[in-house]
Each structure stands twice: as structure tokens, then as C-alpha cells.
Amino acid sequence: MSDVCLLLEGTYPYITGGVSSCAHQLIEETPEIEYDIVYIGNTKENNQNYKYTIPANVRSIQEVFLFDNDLLVSREPKLIGLSKKQIEIIRASILFDKKGEVEELYKTFFKKKTRTFDPSDLFFSKEIWNILMDLYEDSFSIDDAPSFIDFFYNWRFSNIPIFKILSIELPSSNIYHSLCTGYAGLLGCLAKIDAKGSYILTEHGIYTNERKIEISQSEWIYSNKNDIVAKNKLSYFKQWWLNKFYRLGELSYDYADRITTLYQGNKDFQVRLGANPKKIDIIPNGINESKLKKDLDEKLFYKKIKRLSVGLVGRVVPVKDIKTFIKAVSKVHNQLKDVEFLILGPTDEDLDYFSDCRMLINQLGLEDVIIFTEKVNLKYYYPSLDLLILSSISEGQPLVLLEGFCFKIPAVTTDVGSCRELIEGASVADKALGQAGYVVPFGMPNLLADKMIALLSDDALRMKFGENAYKRYIELYQEKYTIQNYVDLYQSYFMDDI
């Protein structure tokens, strides 16, 4: 039995980013704690190589790939003998009804000791087909109905990952710790249902909010001669998926013994989504300055091409809204020619989006102005940067800002996650440390550009904000504070002292 089983969705150890860095930091800085990891990804094809060296205190890594569709091996439809009670449970789960139903759903259809047939049979059950037909007829009039085939396959594909999760055998552990709600959170709920151990939930960004953004921007449009009908169908199916993720979030909040998040704004959001405020602790991210700056060789520092260097640190993916940054750069470059712009982060996670960014750069004539560095060792770039930019549409508490603060780099960020707290301070004492940059609304390239120009044009102001940033790091965001908070939390749930 491990001390802690980390439940990680789309992050460590296959994907780099803030959550992954925090997971690695936690494991590495607590060698006295033994961890198991359950990693949840989309397909094995997209998760081939670890992006981190796995510390010795990780006992095992179990992988779950939600859309490797072994559940859908073709077979003949059949009656599987569902009872009236089983039909009620399935119907409630389809409607995302009743939080308590997840226990009955799991124990009736998925738990090996209590189920009476293979759960994949549900995808080919004539009884399920009939339930869906009834729900379809009850839910729509003739005028607004999507096709039943779309309705049926939407149910099927939205449930493939749920069925995968409900079928997992978790490793034995004292504590199950998920770093989001969603599918990882559902695993935490299963641990509680099976009385395997305590369940701790940590949210950096608010998972349901991030899914809402992704779903609202998706292009699930069905061919139809009537555009109005097509829009109605699109709205209905998007809402279906949103309801699923809202329900998964509620389940995680309900079953978790403790909930942690990064800052007060996140806590307020969690409470609005149904979390009990008495369960929630605020544990900010932390940075180890000495480790970040260890063995720095000035010969390896990035050499500026121009007088000033601006960096956006992040993956080239839609949630980072790189396109808004590119548009802002166009305006800045028109006024300030002696500035270079770096996008520091991997470009291979969403190749279509990367291609779109390249196309936009070409359209704006910025080919010689913006540099994609790919994934690099950031500590050799920070000393050369004069300004950090964050243009994201969703964040938790960005580690890159805290790392920049260690190097006295001011920032211009969008007003997402805890960015305003990091830049302007939260408490009275925090605000007294001074401003560390500027905050602008997301998706507003002109405003972003204006604040970039203001700091790039004023060396004294830029240096003052950089000093303020470093003071805020020293007072509030050191790694030792973060690690001790989690060790104390774990210790309160361990069955035996470690």
C-alpha cells in the first residue's frame, strides 16, 4: 500500500505545464512519502514518452486511455435482462440526475464483486436503446428534435470515458489525491465509495470552467439544410457535455474529504459550484529560487538580438490564446522596433493551432519579429527577459509568473485565475509590497499591447515593478511553504505515521 495515490488527468508525466510541474515538485520534495500514480489520457498514441524523470519514491504508474475504444468491440445487440431498478439507475445517469446514483451505478454495473454482466454490454443493450428512445421522445417536439442517431451516439461517446473510469481497479493507498475534478475526480469518488482511503481534491484552474470554454468554442455542427435547426442541435449537445462535467464536479466536491485550491477567487468559484466552504484550504504554489538558479552558467544565457526581450512562456494551445499575443505584438512592433518577442514552450501539443499561429504571424509580417523556441530550459532565458506576458483565457496560479518574479521580471497578464493577486496583491499587506506589472481583460490585444508599450518605454518603472515582484515572491510564494502545507494535510489522514 502506498501513502498517496495521485490521480492525474492529461498532465504528469506525459504533458508539461503548471499542474505537471506542481505534481513533480510535490513528489520530488517529499522523498519520505511513497506514491502511486494513475494517469488518465485520451489515447496511447498521444501519450508516448514521459516528459519528466520519475523520482524513486513513485512505486507504480497505472495508465488509463479513455478513447482507446476496447469497450466498443462490435457485437450483436441483445437483451441483457435489466431489472426495473437497474433501468431506473441507468435512466438517472443519462439525465445526470441525483448525485447518489453514481454509487448505485458503480456497484450495480461496474464493481466486479457485485455486477452480473460485462458493463460494455450496455452499449449494445436493447433495453438501453429503448430507454434512449423514450428519453428522446420525451425531450423534443417534432420541430426542434435532432436526429435520434446523433442523440444515440452522443450518449455513447460521452459515456465511453465514464465507463472506462468506473471499470478501473485502483491501487491500494492511504490517500487518493486528484489534481482536478472531471475523470480524475471521479476516480477519487470511487476510492471513497469503496472505502479504500481518504480523498483529497486539488484544483489549480476550475476544471468545469475550462471545459465550458473548450465546449463553447468547439465546432460540433451537423449537416442540415435548416441552419436554425443545426444551431439548436449544436446548443443541445454542447449543453449535454457541459451538464456531464458539472455533475462530475459536484460529485468530486461532495465526496472529497478536503479540497485545496490556489487562491481566494478559486475558492469562491468552487463554493458557487457546490463545494462546502468548510472543506476548502488555500495552498498557493511555491518556487524554490536556489534550485531554479542552481548551476547557472552565464555563458549559456540566451543572447538578445535586440535591446529588449519579451517572453510568453506557455504551451502553444488555444487556452493560452497565443493569437491574442501575436496581434498585440503587431501593435507594439509598429511603435517599438528594438524589441524581440519569444514564445517559449512546446508547439507539438496542438499542431493545427500551431499552424494557425504561424499563418497569423505571416499575415501580419512578423516572421522576423516573433521567435518560437520550442521547449527549452527556461532558467537560461529568464535572465535575459525584460518583460513576461501571459495572454491565457484560463489559468490557476501560473508558475511562470512566480519563476519570473524570482528573476525580478515584471509581467503583463490577462485577468484570469490568480493573476491579479500576483500582480497587484491580495491582502492589505500584500498590496503594500507594490505593483508587479499590469492586468488586462483576456482577448483584448490592443489593451495588452498598450500595457506592454508602457513598460517597455519606461526602464525605471519596469525595474521598480520587477523589484516589487521579487518582494512578493519572498514573502508569500516560496516552495517550502507549499510543501509543508501538503505534508501537514497528508499527515492528518495517514493511517500510520510515515
What CATH code is carried by the domain that includes residue 132?
Answer: 3.40.50.2000
476 grid coordinates:
508569500
Verify that 278 and 425 share a domain, yes or no. Answer: no
192/103 same-domain check: yes
CA dist 424 → 45, 204, 421, 429, 472 (Å)? 43, 20, 5, 11, 10
Greater model confidence, 79 or 270: 270
Q: Are residues 270 and 303 in the same domain?
A: no
Q: Is the pLDDT of residue 175 over 80?
A: yes
Which domain, by its residues, includes 151?
1-286+478-498
Q: Find, among 384, 388, 367, the residue nearest to 306 by Cα.
A: 384
Work out the percent of the chain whose per-residue pLDDT is above 70.
93
Q: Are residues 269 and 242 in the same domain?
A: yes
pLDDT tier for residue 232 given thresholds of 50, 70 and 90 = very low
Q: Are residues 201 and 349 in the same domain?
A: no
- How far is Cα 293 from Cα 221, in angstroms, rounded to an integer? 49
**pLDDT surpasses 50 at 222:** no
Same domain, 301 and 257: no
Considering the domain architecture, whether residues 341 and 265 belong to the same structural domain is answered as no
pLDDT confidence of residue 73: 61
- Cβ contacts of 377 within 8 Å, gap of 6 or more: none
pTM score, two decimals? 0.82
Query: Which residues, other chains included, contact 485 with Cβ-Cβ below 8 Å and sequence gap of 6+?
Result: 281, 283
Are 301 and 363 found together in one domain?
yes
d(CA 438, CA 389): 10
Beta-ladder partners of 175: 4, 198
Say which residue, 91 or 318, is predicted with more confidence: 318
**Helix-strand-coil split of the chain, %, nearest 5:** 50, 15, 35
Stretch 202-223: mean pLDDT = 77
Look up residue 181 and give its DSSP letter: S
220 and 319 fall within a common domain: no
Domain match, 197 and 305 both = no
Beta strands in 88-233 (DSSP E): 173-178, 198-203
Kindly state the cell numbers that stand for 38.
494513475
Looking at residue 335, its pLDDT comes to 97
* 243-252 average pLDDT score: 92
pLDDT digits (tens, 9 = 90+) for 52-70: 999 999 999 999 999 876 6
3-state secondary structure of 365: coil
State yes or no: pLDDT of 114 exceeds 70: yes
Question: How many domains does the structure of the chain reveal?
Answer: 2
Q: Is the pLDDT of residue 158 over 60?
A: yes
25-60 per-position pLDDT tens digit? 999 999 999 999 999 998 888 778 999 999 999 999
User: Are 214 and 337 part of one and the same domain?
Assistant: no
Q: Are residues 225 and 341 in the same domain?
A: no
